[in-house]
Amino acid sequence: MSFEEEWSAARATASSQVAMRLNQAPADPGGGTGGADLALDQDQIGAVGSEAYKLHTRLQTDGKHAATATTEAAGALTREGFASGAALLKANSVWESQVKTLVAACANISNGLNYSLSSHAKDEQQLHADFTASAIDKYLT
């Protein structure tokens, strides 16, 4: 079986498993009513956002630590007439592009979760103010 055939089969299997998970909810293992299928508190969201920020920060430096050595090796190979020098430069370019994409994704996750926490806190304050005002109105009328 060629790589392409094997890769297509793996993708098809993974795709069908994801579709199956998305099309059905698992039974509630706790025996409860199963009212909510997603429950996160602010601490959990904050922890995920913090880890995304840490990964973002580390990727910015650690994702580039081999760039100089790779460029030098590619140059040396090219000077000696090896075609692998150009291939190594291309691989390094693709690597750098992928690291930039991953860094941007981590930033989006971190910023999005921070925004969600902030937005939720503001919504909670507004709801509290509205309920407090409606309770006051009840006693004033």
Q: What distance in Å separates the CA atoms of residue 67 and residue 81, rounded to the nearest whole number? A: 21
Q: Which two tokens stand for residue 72?
A: 């030098």
Q: Residue 51: what pLDDT?
A: 87
Q: Are 110 and 52 in contact (CB under 8 A)?
A: yes
Q: What distance in Å separates the CA atoms of residue 135 and residue 141, rounded to the nearest whole number? A: 10
Q: What distance in Å separates the CA atoms of residue 71 and residue 92, rounded to the nearest whole number? A: 8
pLDDT, tens digit, for every residue of 90-126? 999 999 999 999 999 988 888 888 777 777 777 777 7
pLDDT along the chain (141 residues), means of 10: 79 65 54 55 79 89 91 95 94 94 89 76 76 68 60
Q: Residue 132: what pLDDT?
A: 74
Supply φ then ψ for residue 19, to 5 degrees. Answer: -60, -40
Q: Which residue bears the tokens 């140059």?
A: 75
CB atoms within 10 A of CB 136: 10
Its pTM surpasses 0.75: no
